[in-house]
Structure 1
Amino acid sequence: MIKLSNLILIIAVFLLEIPQLVAQRRVACIGDSVTKGYGIKDSTQTYPYQLQQLLGVDFKVGNFGHSGATLLRKGHNPYMQTQAYRDALKFKPDVIVIALGLNDTDPRNWPNYSDEFVGDYSALVEDFRHVNPNVEVFICTMTPIFSGHPRFLSGTRAWFSKAQAAIKELTAVNEAVLIDNHTALASRIDLFGDFLHPNARGAEILAQNVAQYLKPVVQPLSVEETLGSHMVLQRGVINTLAGKASAKEKITVRFKGKKYTTLSDVKGNWTLELPIQDAGGPYDIEVATVAAKLILKDILFGDVFLASGQSNMAFPLRMASGADSILGQVHKLDKIRVFKNKVLAETNSIAWDQTILHQLNELKYFSGAWEKSSTASISDFSAVAYATAVELYKSQGVPIGIINISVGGSNIESWIPRSVLEQDNLLASYIHMWRTSDFIQDFCRQRAAKNLEHTQLKHQRHPYDPAYNFEAGIAKWTSTQIKGIIWYQGESNAHNIEHHTYLFPVMVKSWRDAFQQQLPFYFVQLSSINRPSWPAFRDSQRLLTNVVSDVHMAVSSDIGHPTDVHPTNKLILGNRLGQLIRQHTYNEPLVADSPQPVDFRWDKDRLVISFNHCQILQTVKDLPIRDLQYVNSKGELLDVQHGTIYENTLILPLAKDVKYVRYAYTPYTEGNLISDTHIPVSTFILKID
């Protein structure tokens, strides 16, 4: 007879063994060095091991990665000839998660055998279906190869793209489920010390991403951070609401007495489209599941603009000259709503601590919420952006939403998507080594070096890092319907005018593509200051408006400061931007563009230059024309005296050997030409043939 103590022991052991007796789902992680965990010293930090911890005792996860393995059977190291492959088949998995293809981008493989890639991939899947006809198949997109990889420009980039496209196509053919591992890590270059292999944190992200497909996601109902009470949604278009819930959960939205429903996906993401609305409100939007409910209150429909750039866009209203003229009437501006993306840390000349450095890498640099206009909410909001909103609200009479996402000192590269930068041969050559590249302004490199003094990470992120501000900030907003972009940036690219001239159209196109809207861009030209490169930079900005479609410039050279890069007369810039928007977006009969020289002719002993965007040229207070010069073939300057104006022409006296006429080309200029609508004439240099 069994003693009671022994019986208790047997029962205890039995209870401990129950999880092992329950049929576990066997998960085989099949892949190359990323699966194996190359470079991760602790084997408990590899992605399959961390996946096991996430899935729990109902699953048994096996790591069947083999470093250097190719999917291609004729590749230099075929996976199907490895011991890992044979062990995976013996494992008889219920689930396979395949992550192969990176090594197939090797020049020994893709150029020679790419036409066999789909067939070989399908054969691998069939091998596992042979040992278990009911096996669930998950095929992963490849994790990123970043631009610093030694073969990136010599073929890897192109072959990676083709292999990635093939993986997406063959997934459906093989009745498999696609897991997007690429997007999960595409903005995390900080986790890839060698541009190819993710570290332990990268493996954790992979495990979390894969786990969402294998085990139902349970999480609270939420909406995206770009949505919230007091927001303005764009009138006249379909707006998308989005958020998170548990996997495959029914979401019900109630709006204006109607009910709309959708279902969250396997990862718990949900989206729902609201029908087109005219300007109006306020309304409430209720978002609910069976167990939870959120109410977004005080929602308006009107026009939404996104304002971005560097410190002159971030410049707060409370510090602007004449701010009281707006702050004093804030009670009348209740239908202007603001969303300030506050930064985690200003890019001042200090060394950031480890907490900030970590948050930067996690792309948690920006945070904010929609707010109604109040003294508190607008005092620290962008002066230029808010003044623009006031001009539009007063002229259009509809709610205006203004989103500000700006970073002091930021270069234009930081605002361009990584995918765009990496597809450009020139830009891809330096973005991964930006902290030592002369393409990046020395101020940006020096300030970043100070901020990052305490990091040990090779690819530590920073707001001046190419792509960073897009990845951490702008990317959140690309599903938002907006009316246009307001831009004030260039100070941190004025060291290389030609390169900025190349970059600016790239940025404009990239944002239009990302938002999937042909957005108009309204930007502020750099102001006047005693910096020698700025006159030519101002002129280059003027010329960009002539070559990039639907891009419009507000001149600021008349309100600069000889030594202060942050002149305080910001409200007039908002007025000028607002008038440009009224002309080009709202089609009002205004002339808000800066006059430009469009033609010249010799009339006996006079040079006659014609200007567009005006009926009559004039000077401020009818004073003599200032800062107007001839340049001869030896590069010598001659101040032009006694220039006169007739209608929209500038009439200048004859001089010998004139090669160029230049206006407002002094770094801190006192140029005083304006149009009959009081719009300043931009800095320009005109070649005289």
Structure 2
Amino acid sequence: MMVRFLFLLLLNVLAFDFSKAQNGVDSKLTLAPVFSDHMVLQRNKPVKIYGKAASGSNVTVQFLDQTMRAKADQSGKWDVVFPAAKEGGPYVISVAANDQKINVNDVLIGDVWLCSGQSNMDFALRDAQTGPDELQAGPLDPDMRLLKMAGAVSTGDVAWDSASLEKVNRYEFFSGKWKSPDKASVASFSAIAYYFGKQIKKETNVPIGLIQVALGGSPTESWIDRALLEKDPQFAGMLGDWSHSDLVMDWCRERAAKNITNARSKDQKHPYQPGYSFQAGIAPLTGFPITGVIWYQGESNVFNVPLHEQLFTMLVKSWREKWNDTFPFYYVQLSSIERPYWPEFRDSQRRLLTKIPNSGMAVSFDFGDSLNVHPTRKKEVGERLALLALRDHYQKSVMANGPVPEKATLKNGAIRIQFLNKKTTLDHNKALPKQKLLTKNNAPLTGFELVTESGKRLVANARIEGDEVIIHVPAGERIRTVLYAYQPFTRANLYNEAGLPASTFSIAVK
């Protein structure tokens, strides 16, 4: 009896200590992970500050010489909303509840851009062609702040241990803190995002915050709210048994299988799983106002072009709904490489511009590598994304895209391709000069093909004539379509005077 009594007493003590520890965790005052020293808050939008505290406790927040108060709800959540503010700083956010206090120091107000996608967005500055020189160039801009939400576990060709498997199952995958720019923080940050932010800062002189949430190999569907995918019957197979679904790229499924080799749970989760990266990386940010998104992803969806079109339009629409903001969404067209389906995918990305409002696409095939899916020329790609933002969001008078085909007509044995004249100025009443069509170093024009009515593809002899491209039609051939830059790896060379290339495209002949 004495042994039983002591055993029960020990259990009660342990239970009391666990309950006390648990209550201590629940009552701790915290801010959402996106709040930390050196952060940037979005200008010209209400400033929402939020976190957790003991249920029912009163929370006081001081910011910009104003004080806001809130009461934590039953789950401990609280938030306050300050009026929109102009760019500036540095400031301090002070938060207090009960006897606890948190100060967030060196806070700037400016523009915050979310930088997401897979490995080419995750590609670090130190590994870019211009990275070493950039890191040695001199002082870094103190008003450009970086938040890298890094993956807690590598999705490389490794098997995870039990601790990693459990962490992934708890959705504790992405984490990071805001940092001021120094050689270490900049070197490991996304090269494309860095060069994008640097160009925006240079042209606007507004503090820039960059939030990197990217994961190598991740498919589009992993970045979409699972609840949305569940509403569409065509994605049922993808969700029910995603590791065996042919709607998910086989490489993603194979890599996930390797990572979770040691899993004991049949319901082991993985960041490539439909909905996972959204829940772990994006959902925690949707209460945090941003300017817009830059995106580089698609390599893990290139095998099914029609499916990607549905997924990508769903992603953009749903993210905007989650933020309740039709923010700009600028994405990178896939590069060129000797792999099947890539031309069709690039052309599909071009067509999506007409389906997704307030979007833009940076062409990158001219910086491609025939064998390497990770081309190292990231500076130019980041700056092309910045041109889109500068023209369409910041309303700067810049040229932001290369020649865009408008129509192809057959006359007297030749096809004439005319090109659109995109806006380059805010003054819509001002007549715009037509873009000049040219090739680098005046080299012969290359990259055009003709598709006959029987489906045969012919290399085209094309030339620039004024503001049109002229293609001679071989005798006896009836042409249905003109293709441009439609080889998986291409050095097609149609540009404009701003040095911006025409996209991969297909156009019907009228």
Q: Structure 2 residue aligned with 1:654, among 473, 491, 496?
A: 473
- 1:279 and 2:98 matched: no
Match of 2:320 in 1: 512
Question: Given residue 207 of structure 2, which amino acid in structure 1 is its aligned partner?
Answer: P
How many angstroms does 1:266 deviate by?
2.0
Larger Rg: 1
C-alpha separation in 1, matches of 2:24 and 2:72: 11
Percent identity, please: 39
Q: Structure 1 residue aligned with 2:207, among 384, 399, 407?
A: 399
How many angstroms does 1:628 deviate by?
1.0
Uncovered stretches (5+) of structure 2, i.e. residues with no partner: 9-14, 423-433
Match of 2:165 in 1: 357
Structure 2-normalised TM-score?
Answer: 0.91
C-alpha separation in 2, matches of 1:217 and 1:535: 53
- 1:684 and 2:505 matched: yes
Question: Given residue 663 of structure 1, which amino acid in structure 2 is its aligned partner?
Answer: Y
Match of 1:539 in 2: 347
CA gap 1:344/1:604 in 2 versus in 1, 3 angstroms: same
Match of 2:117 in 1: 309
Match of 1:35 in 2: none
C-alpha separation in 1, matches of 2:65 and 2:257: 55
How many angstroms does 1:550 deviate by?
1.2
Q: Secondary structure at the match of 1:502?
A: helix
C-alpha separation in 2, matches of 1:555 and 1:218: 49
Question: Given residue 629 of structure 1, which amino acid in structure 2 is its aligned partner?
Answer: E
Q: Secondary structure at the match of 1:617?
A: coil
- Asked whether the equivalents of residues 351 and 453 of structure 1 are also in contact (C-alpha less than 8 Å), the reply is yes
C-alpha separation in 1, matches of 2:89 and 2:254: 48
C-alpha separation in 1, matches of 2:16 and 2:240: 33
Alignment of 1:296-335 (within 5 A): 296-329=104-137, 331-335=139-143
CA gap 1:279/1:430 in 2 versus in 1, 3 angstroms: same
- Asked whether the equivalents of residues 553 and 594 of structure 1 are also in contact (C-alpha less than 8 Å), the reply is no
How many angstroms does 1:329 deviate by?
4.5
Match of 1:623 in 2: 443
Q: Structure 2 residue aligned with 1:390, among 198, 204, 207?
A: 198
Q: Structure 1 residue aligned with 2:391, among 561, 569, 583?
A: 583
- Asked whether the equivalents of residues 438 and 464 of structure 2 are also in contact (C-alpha less than 8 Å), the reply is no
- Asked whether the equivalents of residues 218 and 246 of structure 1 are also in contact (C-alpha less than 8 Å), the reply is yes
Question: Given residue 376 of structure 2, which amino acid in structure 1 is its aligned partner?
Answer: T
C-alpha separation in 1, matches of 2:453 and 2:172: 54
- Deviation string, structure 1 residues 531-570 (Cα, Å, up to 9, x no partner): 0210111101011111211111000000000000000000
How many angstroms does 1:56 deviate by?
7.9
CA gap 1:565/1:258 in 2 versus in 1, 3 angstroms: same
- 1:634 and 2:442 matched: no
Q: Secondary structure at the match of 2:389?
A: helix
- Deviation string, structure 1 residues 558-587 (Cα, Å, up to 9, x no partner): 000000000000010010000000011111
- Deviation string, structure 1 residues 504-553 (Cα, Å, up to 9, x no partner): 10111111111111121100010010002101111010111112111110
Match of 2:146 in 1: 338
Match of 1:43 in 2: none
RMSD: 2.3
C-alpha separation in 2, matches of 1:492 and 1:679: 26
C-alpha separation in 2, matches of 1:644 and 1:458: 60
Match of 1:447 in 2: 255
C-alpha separation in 1, matches of 2:82 and 2:131: 37
How many angstroms does 1:456 deviate by?
2.3
How many angstroms does 1:54 deviate by?
11
How many angstroms does 1:429 deviate by?
3.4
- Asked whether the equivalents of residues 618 and 645 of structure 1 are also in contact (C-alpha less than 8 Å), the reply is no
- 1:371 and 2:179 matched: yes
- Asked whether the equivalents of residues 251 and 264 of structure 1 are also in contact (C-alpha less than 8 Å), the reply is yes
- Asked whether the equivalents of residues 48 and 80 of structure 2 are also in contact (C-alpha less than 8 Å), the reply is yes
Most deviating of 404-413 and 328-337:
328-337
How many angstroms does 1:667 deviate by?
0.8
Match of 1:228 in 2: 36
Structure 1-normalised TM-score?
Answer: 0.68
C-alpha separation in 1, matches of 2:250 and 2:75: 43
How many angstroms does 1:258 deviate by?
2.6
How many angstroms does 1:244 deviate by?
1.2
Q: Secondary structure at the match of 1:331?
A: coil
Most deviating of 297-306 and 587-596:
587-596
Alignment of 1:74-93 (within 5 A): none
C-alpha separation in 2, matches of 1:427 and 1:473: 21
Pick the structure with more helix per residue: 1
Q: Secondary structure at the match of 2:290?
A: coil
CA gap 1:598/1:261 in 2 versus in 1, 3 angstroms: same
Alignment of 1:186-335 (within 5 A): 218-329=26-137, 331-335=139-143
C-alpha separation in 1, matches of 2:182 and 2:127: 16
* Runs of 4+ off more than 4 Å: 52-57, 215-218
- Deviation string, structure 1 residues 426-475 (Cα, Å, up to 9, x no partner): 11332221110111111001111111111122221101100000011101
